[in-house]
Structure 1
Amino acid sequence: MSPVWLVARREIRTRVRTRAFIAGTLATILIMGGYAALMTFIGHQAGTTKVGVTAQAAAVGAPLQAFGQSFEISTVDEAAGERQVRDGDLEALITGTPDAPRLVVKRSPDGALRAALDAVVQQQAMNAELARVGLDPAGVRAATESAHVSVTSLETEDPHLGERLGLAIAAGVVLYMFLIIGGQMVAQGVVEEKSSRVVELLLSTIKPTQLLAGKVIGIGLTNLLQLVIIAAAGLIASGVGGVLTLPSAALAGTLGWGLAWFLLGFFTYATVLAAASSLVSRQEDLQNVISPVIMVLVVPFVIGVSMLPSSPDSTLAAVLSLVPGFSPTLMPMRIALGVAAPWEIALSVVLSIAAVAVLLRLGGRIYSNAVLHTGARVKLRDALRAA
């Protein structure tokens, strides 16, 4: 293992000290922070409806606050309110009298606002009719509000479901991004060494499998360091901002399993990509041999982000999360959602480790027999036959 760790240390020192590593890490943190802030701002804006109310219709504004949607009520002059509606500063203006309010909008009224206003007007009309026949509107309202349907829940609702869903999607996106970036770094490094014939000098002192293992381990640990820094920054920012209120044990477990699955996924895909890239000698031909491997990585990511948010208990996602190659993306998402059983996690880990062992052996042999062949692309069949 001494030559392996020698190559790994070289890869780590070379890449960690580069401006690209530092700038990339900082840029990723800033982009993720900016995206989170933008989504929070958009969500806040989308959840708030700005409504202007004239002094004559002020009695209508207070009952609107009782409805679920957030209405930001402000008292304005009718002419000024119409001008603000036309300019987009207000989404609607309520004028007229409390008994006969009028809703002024720029084009079409917001459905929730119109429904809420209709409910307020109907309640006021009912109160007036009850008072006309000699009944107390408050008493009638109290009697009707006490009537409700009895609800029996077969399962307890998770109060942190929304946070778990956001954490699962974030885990899937980050792992997918880092697996692709790390795998492509390995592939490009193999082709660079092969095209510059540096690999011939290296293989004069160490074995091809040792060079491959050292390169995969070194780049993998470099990306792991970058992932830990970014994940820690994201968790700290979420905690300070009050976005995540999950128990610390759940956050630590999600982060720990995410890092573990990154390593398993990286060793799986990086080994395959290194073997595939050893078949070519030019960067121009690299994309042709690594694209099929990248597509395999895209499939579980698409399944995860499209299926798990709406159906966390999906049988298809549960089965695919046990398949090596699919597990590094799907299983961390299911763990974050809290739907992965312990036996499923254990089985997927065992299967992934077994797959890594097989791929390391097979990929190492392909790499050994193809990396010294320069010029035309080496056919996979010939590399396997030579092996």
Structure 2
Amino acid sequence: MTAARTVSLVARRELAARLRTRSFVFGTVLSALVLAGFVLTQSAVFDDRHRETIGLNGQAIAVSAQLVEEARQVGRDVRTVEVTDLADGRARVADGRLDALVSGAPAALTVLVSSGLDDELRGVLNGLVRQQVLRGQLAALEDPTGLDVDGLLRNVAEAHVTVRTLSSPDPHRDERHAVALVVVALLYLGFLLYGSLVAQGVVAERFGGVAEFLWPVVRPGQQLGGKVAGLGLAGLVQLLVVGAVGLLVALATKVLVSTGVAVAAFVWGLVWYLLGFLLYATVFAAVGVRVSRQEDVQAALTPVTVVLLVAFAFGFALLSQDPSGLLTVVLSLVPPLSPLIMPGRLALGAVPVWQVLLSLVATVAVIAVLVRISTRLYRKALTN
């Protein structure tokens, strides 16, 4: 029997055993329901209202207090800062230090944003401009009895803020952001759950005598490879089911209007699940073979789960707050963070091909090293 066939048999045994368990069925159904519920409440959970910093230049500084108050009336937390140099303000908008830069006379405001101005803030600024136009026209009246009401109302209605952008707005930005965070969360749960199952299975086989029983026909490396492959496929099945349910619910409820955005993110999520699972599963397996008692499994796995949690927390925070920042880019290229951060970046938009390739190559290289180490430790543990 060839090594590949042996690994395949072990993998099929692990996969069949896992798919038949009640915990798998219950976990899959529960995860799908949770994701569906998340999608239905997405607008509330992923409310991206946060404290916004708006720069004011020149005469626009006069509307600072009014801007803060009007924004508060619509539920926006706005902080204003004075910007003396327009070039500096433009640079601060480009690198994200300012959410917007407002300049010009109060009755003819111009706002500079990175890619687009949301409707609420646009409404606030339009309201300020119209108030200033109305005050200016009323102040210019010499004879109130000759007031042209229709003309005055027309001038006020036509007044609006001028919006300039540094780049073309992405109409699917909010969708991409929500999908990216969902993908990262699902990957984290998959790595944690099925990586732990690999470690627990390794320990159970060692102390249950299963590995020694199979020794004459299945070598340690084949046994470990089959176990990792089988559990990884079980996790892939669960991810496919949960992801498909979430995608269908999102499209049916119009939470997502762009099928391409969601499908592309889902496909990349599957690719990175396979790579990330292999990476973390080999680490979990290496920890499992070093455990001297079954009771010590959870304690031994704590350092690995902490690393995974830190990777998830970093990925979630960076993708939420600074998805295009230098730190996000660098960490997305470095295993063990890349299996969580890179698929999130891909869901958010275009990533340079060289960065995707570099992260893939680096992850595969680390997996190759970890597989050799885990196999050696597993063989040594069984022969001692």
TM-score range, shorter chain: 0.7 to 0.9
Shift of 1:38: 4.0
- Mapping 1:257-296, distance limit 5 Å: 257-296=268-307
Say whether 1:193 aligns with 2:205: yes
Q: Partner amino acid for 1:181?
A: L
- Mapping 1:91-102, distance limit 5 Å: none
Q: Partner amino acid for 1:295?
A: V
Shift of 1:293: 1.6
- Mapping 1:152-301, distance limit 5 Å: 152-246=164-258, 248-301=259-312
- Equivalent residue, structure 2, for 1:355: 366
Q: Partner amino acid for 1:6?
A: L
Does the 8 Å CA contact 1:312/1:339 hold for their aligned counterparts?
A: no
* Range with bigger deviation, 140-149 or 166-175: 140-149
* Range with bigger deviation, 301-310 or 178-187: 301-310
Does the 8 Å CA contact 1:7/1:214 hold for their aligned counterparts?
A: yes
Shift of 1:8: 0.3
Shift of 1:245: 1.3
- Equivalent residue, structure 1, for 2:7: 4
- Equivalent residue, structure 1, for 2:31: 28
Alpha-carbon RMSD:
2.9
Shift of 1:149: 4.9
The SS at the match of 2:9 is helix
Name the count of aligned residue pairs: 303
Does the 8 Å CA contact 1:262/1:328 hold for their aligned counterparts?
A: yes
Segments of 5+ residues of structure 2 without an aligned counterpart are 50-72, 76-120
Deviations 1:180-199 (A, max 9, x none): 00100101111111222222
Residues 181/42 of structure 1: CA separation in 2 closer, same or farther (3 Å cut): closer
- Equivalent residue, structure 1, for 2:314: 303
Shift of 1:339: 4.3
- Equivalent residue, structure 2, for 1:142: 154
Residues 159/22 of structure 1: CA separation in 2 closer, same or farther (3 Å cut): same
The SS at the match of 1:204 is coil
Within 2, Cα distance between the matches of 1:172 and 1:309? 11
Within 2, Cα distance between the matches of 1:164 and 1:360? 34
Shift of 1:37: 2.9
Within 1, Cα distance between the matches of 2:7 and 2:214? 12
Deviations 1:226-281 (A, max 9, x none): 100110010000000000012x3332221111101000000011011111111114
Say whether 1:318 aligns with 2:329: yes
Does the 8 Å CA contact 2:285/2:374 hold for their aligned counterparts?
A: yes
The SS at the match of 2:170 is coil
Residues 138/213 of structure 1: CA separation in 2 closer, same or farther (3 Å cut): same
- Equivalent residue, structure 2, for 1:94: none
The SS at the match of 1:308 is helix
Within 2, Cα distance between the matches of 1:149 and 1:231? 42
Q: TM-score, normalised by structure 2?
A: 0.72
* Range with bigger deviation, 211-220 or 126-135: 126-135
Does the 8 Å CA contact 1:313/1:339 hold for their aligned counterparts?
A: no
Does the 8 Å CA contact 2:36/2:245 hold for their aligned counterparts?
A: no
Pick the structure with greater CA Rg. 1
Does the 8 Å CA contact 2:40/2:255 hold for their aligned counterparts?
A: no
Shift of 1:41: 6.5
Within 2, Cα distance between the matches of 1:39 and 1:337? 16
Deviations 1:196-236 (A, max 9, x none): 22221122321111100000000001100110011001000
Within 2, Cα distance between the matches of 1:192 and 1:276? 13
Within 2, Cα distance between the matches of 1:300 and 1:18? 30
Deviations 1:271-313 (A, max 9, x none): 1111111111433211232221222212221112112222111
The SS at the match of 2:165 is coil
Q: Partner amino acid for 1:187?
A: A
The SS at the match of 1:152 is strand
Shift of 1:176: 0.5
